[in-house]
Copies of this chain bind each other. A is one copy, B any other.
Amino acid sequence: MSLAERIQELLHAKIPITRAMGVRVAEYDGRRLVLSAPLAENVNHLGTAFGGSLNTLAVLSGYGLLWLELQDEECHIVIRDSSISYERPVRGGLRASCALPEAEKLAEFKQTFHQRGKARIALASTIEDQGVTAVRFRGTFVALR
């Protein structure tokens, strides 16, 4: 099973609402994770993507990316805080993309985690609508041994 399949299976098994949302791993290249979800399961009263689902998919893209990055570690990942800006409606399927931060920040995060068994890191996710950024998300995630 590929890493992408493992994280999808993990999400579906451990966080059941991801099954109801139809969350899928669309892309993973070791640096960036893209999660998708169909519009039908995540639609709002205006026929566009529901803000709650957009936020959830962004959270999961950060969570999943960190889990893939730390997969050999015995750790739990939780979200501490986040902010999100809904700049345009999302009219088609949902796709949340999260990339690892610059190498220096990632190394600092891992070093702190190894030394103290706890470290936090800020991750940014975006969701596009027809090639234009529609949603900007930023979350602080904590890894705990």
Contacts and interface: CB of A to CB of B under 8 A. Distances in A.
How many of these chains are in the complex? 2
Contact of A84 (B14, B82, B86, B89): B82
A46 to B, nearest CB: 6
Interface in A39-68: 40-46, 50-53, 55-56, 59-60
Interface stretch (A15-23, A104-112, A113-121, A123-131): A15-23
A80 interface: yes
A6 interface: no
A50 to B, nearest CB: 5
Contacts of A56: 52-53, 55-56
A83 B81 contact: yes
Interface residues of A, number: 33
A36 B2 CA distance: 37
A36 to B, nearest CB: 15
Given A55-B55, A55-B59, A56-B56, A50 B86 contact: no
Interface of A: 10, 14-17, 20-21, 40-46, 50-53, 55-56, 59-60, 76, 78-86, 89
